[in-house]
Amino acid sequence: MQKPLVLGAVAYAPKVVTIWEGFKQHFIAHGLPFDFVLYSNYERQVEDQFDGRIDVAWNSPLAWLRAERIARARGVADQVRAITMRDTDCDLTSVLVVRADSDIRSVADLRGRRIGVGAVDSPQATLIPLQWLREQGLAVDTEVTVVRHDVLGGKHGDHVGGERDAARALVAGGVDAAWMIDGNHLAFTQEGTLPPGRCRVLARTPAFDHCNFTTSPGAPAAALARFEALLMAMSFDDAALRPLLELEGLRAWRGGRTEGYALLERAVTATGFYDARGAIGVDDYVY
C-alpha cells in the first residue's frame, strides 16, 4: 500500500476541517493517497516539517520565512520550496486607517500618536506595516505608541480578530490610526465595524504575497509533483470543487513565488522575530 502524502494545515477556523476533508477525497479519487494533520499554530507545524512528520505545509508567509531560514541553516534549502499559492495570495496591500475628522494627514503626523495593529505575529497587520513605517523614516519603537491586539497567537493573523479589534479601537478613540489588510478594511466597512464615512485611508503598503504550500525535506518527489499537478488542474467551474475553493478563498491555484515576501523578510530581521537559524526571538510571543 502506497504511503499517503501528509499535509499540515493550521486550524484557524472551523471551515479548515471542511476544506481539507473535501480536498482529501478529491486527491484520493484522482490517485494520490493523501492525509492531513491540523495544527493549532504555525510554529509547531514548521518544526514538524523538519522532524519528518509532514511532507508539505500550507504555510503563512511568516511560516514560510521560518522554514526557509531553518532550511538554509541545515543545508537543505534546495528541498524546501514554495510550490503553489492561491490567486488571492498575490499582490495584497495593507492600509492605515484614521478617523475622517483626524488631523493626521501624513506619516510624519503619526509622531506622538497611538497606532493600533493586529497580533504580534500578523504579517499584514503588524510586521509588514510597521516595517513600512520604519522605511518611511518613522521610529516606531520610540516616536509612536504601538497598541497590539493579540488574538489567537501562533496563527499568524489568519483570523481577523486582532485587526477587527484594532478597527474597533480606532472608532472608539482608543487609537489614532489602525492597520489592516485591504480586504478586511472593505469587510469591516461593509459589516459596520468601520461605519461608512467615519474613517479614511491615510496610507498603503507596497504589494506583498501571502500563503504558500511549502515542501518538507525528504518529502517524496513523485507524490509532491502529483499533488501540485492536481492543485493546478482544479477548476472553479467544477461544481464539486467550487464550494471548497470558495471556502479557501480562491478561484485558481498559481505557481509559488517568493519575491513578494521581501518586505516581511526585512521586518523579521529588523524585529528579530526569527534569527538566522529560524529560532523564535520574541520574548512575549504566546502561541
Bridge-partner residues for 8, per DSSP?
Answer: 37, 57
For residues 41 and 84, what is the distance between their CA atoms, to the nearest angstrom? 21
Q: Hey, how many other C-beta atoms are within 10 angstroms of the C-beta on 221?
A: 10
pLDDT at 159: 85
For the chain, what is the mean pLDDT? 97
Can you read off the three cell numbers belonging to residue 126? 503588524
Nearest to 88 by CA among 230, 275, 250, 217: 250
Give the pLDDT band (50/70/90) at residue 67. Answer: very high
- Residue holding cell 472608539? 172
**Domains in the chain with CATH codes:** 5-89+209-271 (3.40.190.10), 94-204 (3.40.190.10)
Can you read off the three cell numbers belonging to residue 39? 495544527
**Mean of pLDDT values over 241-268:** 98
For residues 148 and 174, what is the distance between their CA atoms, to the nearest angstrom? 12
- Does the pLDDT at position 230 exceed 90? yes
* Kind of pairing between the strands at 145-147 and 114-116: parallel
SS in 3 state form for the chain? Answer: CCCCEEEEEECCCCHHHHHHHHHHHHHHHCCCCEEEEEECCHHHHHHHHCCCCCCEEEECHHHHHHHHHHHHHHCCHHHCCEEEEEHHHCCECEEEEEECCCCCCCHHHHCCCEEECCCCCCHHHHHHHHHHHHHCCCCCCCCCEEECCCCCCCCCCCCCHHHHHHHHHHHHCCCCEEEEEHHHHHHHHHHCCCCCCCEEEEEECCCECCCEEEECCCCCHHHHHHHHHHHHHCCCCCCCCHHHHHHHCCCCEEECCCHHHHHHHHHHHHHCCECCCCCECCCCCCC
The Cα-based distances of 198 to 47, 100, 129, 156, 194 in angstroms read 44, 5, 22, 29, 7
Give the pLDDT band (50/70/90) at residue 216. Answer: very high
pLDDT in tens, 129-149: 999 999 999 999 999 999 999
pLDDT in tens, 82-101: 999 999 999 999 999 999 99
Q: In degrees to the nearest 10, what's the CA dihedral of 136, 139, 141, 144?
A: -90
**Mean of pLDDT values over 70-78:** 98
- Does the pLDDT at position 2 exceed 90? no
For residues 198 and 170, what is the distance between their CA atoms, to the nearest angstrom? 10
